[in-house]
Amino acid sequence: MHTPSGTSLTVMPAPPAAHPAAALPAPGGAVLPAPPEFLPGLESAAPADADAGWLHDALLGPHSADIVGYLRLARLCGGPVLDLGSGAGRLAVPFARQGFSVEAVDRDAASLERLRAWGRRIGPQVSRLLVTTRADLTDLRLRRTYRLALLAGTMVAAVPPPARPALLREIAAHLEPGGVLALDYTAHGLRGLAEEPVRTRAFQVPRFDGVEEWAVARQVFDLDDMSERIAYHCVRTGKLSAERVVRTTRKWIVDPERLGEELRAAGLRVERRRRHRLDERTESVLLVCRAGG
């Protein structure tokens, strides 16, 4: 939830309710029901240190209902699954627990180690299904083929627009015939961004280590280069000390028409588009795309 610049709101958004699924054609005449509408993850930056992991998890946690929808796709498409921008494994590890072979790709080594440690804690039946690859999505080179590729948690907005066509071509070239790419992003009303290019919200970061942490997120939208810069101003208070920390990240405003053109050029056909209104200015968009069309 956003508030006007200069104000603050103490809020943690609630997980969204599931919606009835519609039908989506699948290879061989099967049916792929559309995943329920969900709010995607809000953050695409990896934690810089152990303390930043609490903020990272707080931003993603309330929106993890997308796991249910993406897992439904995996059950219908089959594996192996490619999780791009996997972070610490919020999708990859649950998928492996359900028996899917998953390759998790992320540029952050610490996040991939957290993913592997999580898998090891569960047991060899899960860890053996997880393969991690450290790579930047702007220079991705894949080595195998997949039935399902995911750009979840608005990861497509973390890829600079000039690099996006090559990424989509690389993904499409490594999908098996009839394979699926699923992605989500936040669609902004450009008029609303022009009228209010700076937005601020405040929330408490849930922690379980005896530290109290509050964060103020300040979003600044730049329509000239279609970018979004976010600064998280955090205050952490422990028993003996207090500190202020600023975390910043940059994302890109997705132009739906341009993205659609890039998907078609890569040989990916959009078979399902689901929208979920977040507020009067923004909506979450889920695309399920089929290779070979």
Q: What pLDDT is stored for residue 57 in this prediction?
A: 74
- Mean of pLDDT values over 240-259: 89
Higher pLDDT, 171 or 189: 171
Q: What pLDDT is stored for residue 56 in this prediction?
A: 75
- CA triple 7-44-279, angle to 5 deg: 45
Q: Which tens digit of pLDDT belongs to each residue from 73-93? A: 999 999 899 999 988 888 999
Does pLDDT of 124 surpass 90?
Answer: yes
Q: Where are the domains of the chain?
A: 19-188+254-291
Q: Which tens digit of pLDDT belongs to each residue from 138-156? A: 999 999 999 999 999 889 9
* Fold of the CATH domain 19-188+254-291: Rossmann fold (3.40.50)
Does pLDDT of 179 surpass 70?
Answer: yes
CA 292: distance to chain centroid? Answer: 24
As a whole number of angstroms, the distance between CA 39 and CA 64 comes to 8
As a whole number of angstroms, the distance between CA 235 and CA 212 comes to 8
DSSP class of residue 176 equals: E
CA 9: distance to chain centroid? Answer: 24
| pTM of the model as a whole | 0.79
Q: What is the mean pLDDT of the chain?
A: 81
Strand-pair category, 81-84 with 146-151: parallel
DSSP class of residue 31 equals: B
In this structure, the chain runs to a length of 293
Q: What pLDDT is stored for residue 83 in this prediction?
A: 96
Cβ neighbours around 130 below 10 Å, total: 25
- CA triple 4-55-108, angle to 5 deg: 120
